[in-house]
Each structure stands twice: as C-alpha cells, then as structure tokens.
Amino acid sequence: MKKLIEQILRFGIVGILAFIIDYGLMVFCTEILHIYYLWSTMISFTVSVVFNYLASVKWVFNVDNGKSKSANLIFFISFSIIGLGINQLIMWLGVDKFQISYLIVKFLATAVVMIFNFVTRKLHFENGGNI
C-alpha cells in the first residue's frame, strides 16, 4: 500500500509538471501564435506526453516488465494517441458545443486523460506488459 501511495504521489508530481507544460504551451500557441485552439491543444498535448513518458519510465513506474524498450514505447505512444483523442473530444465538446472557454475545458480534459493514463500505464508496465 505504501508503494502504491508513493507511486501515485510521483505520478501526481509528473502530472502537475506535464500539465504546466501542456497548459502553458496551449495558451502560448493559441494567444501568442494565434493557432486554432484544437491545433494548439494537439501540439501542447504531444510535447507534454514526451515529457510524461520520460519522467514516467525514469521515476514513476517499474518498467522492467519483460518487454523491450521499443515495445513499451509503442504501447505508450498508442495509448497516448487514445488519450489525445479523448482530450480533443472533450475540448471540442466543451468549447464548440457548450461554448465554454478552452482555458476552462482543458482542466476537465486533463483530469479525464490523467485517470486514463494512470490506469493503462500501471496495468501495462506492472503486469508484464499485458493490457
């Protein structure tokens, strides 16, 4: 139980840093570079995923699951693409359909994707690479 709590705390720290990267880059791309918000969120999400992957395999999860580094990376990228799809869907629904500011909707999108990421990565990295 102690290991799980420590892991969740580490995941939270990495998540906060990834969110700062994601949110900050999204705002920069949208407000300063005048990139359409869905493109901005895709760019920022992708950059934060790279950071998250590196931090997760170095500091959060035990990635010695019998799979090669390339197999783990393929898993990570595949589920990150699913996470991006979830993120983009929530952003589009919140902004275009419910007329909520992208600055607010991003918080909900991040929370949903964070839960998805933790569950899928924990299952993969710590269950012999099977999910």
**pLDDT tens-digit profile of 18-27?**
999 999 999 9
Q: What is the 3-state secondary structure (H, E, C) of 21-35?
A: HHHHHHHHHHHHCCC
84 three-class SS: helix
The alpha carbon torsion through 118, 119, 122, 127 (nearest 10 deg) reads -170
pLDDT at residue 127 tops 80: no
CB neighbour list of residue 77: distance below 8 Å, 6 or more residues apart:
none
CB crowding 23-54: b at 16 or more within 10 Å, else e: bebbbebbeeeebebbebbbbbbebbbeebbe
pLDDT in tens, 50-106: 998 888 888 887 666 566 778 777 888 899 999 999 999 999 999 999 999 999 999
Q: What is the residue extent of each domain of the chain?
A: 2-126
42 three-class SS: helix
Q: Are 75 and 49 in contact (CB under 8 A)?
A: no
Q: Are 72 and 53 in contact (CB under 8 A)?
A: no
> What is the per-residue pLDDT for 66?
63
pLDDT in tens, 1-48: 888 899 889 988 998 999 999 999 999 999 999 999 999 999 999 999
Q: H/E element holding 2?
A: helix 2-27
pLDDT at residue 111 tops 70: yes
Q: Are 71 and 129 in contact (CB under 8 A)?
A: yes
One-letter amino acid identity for 128?
Answer: G
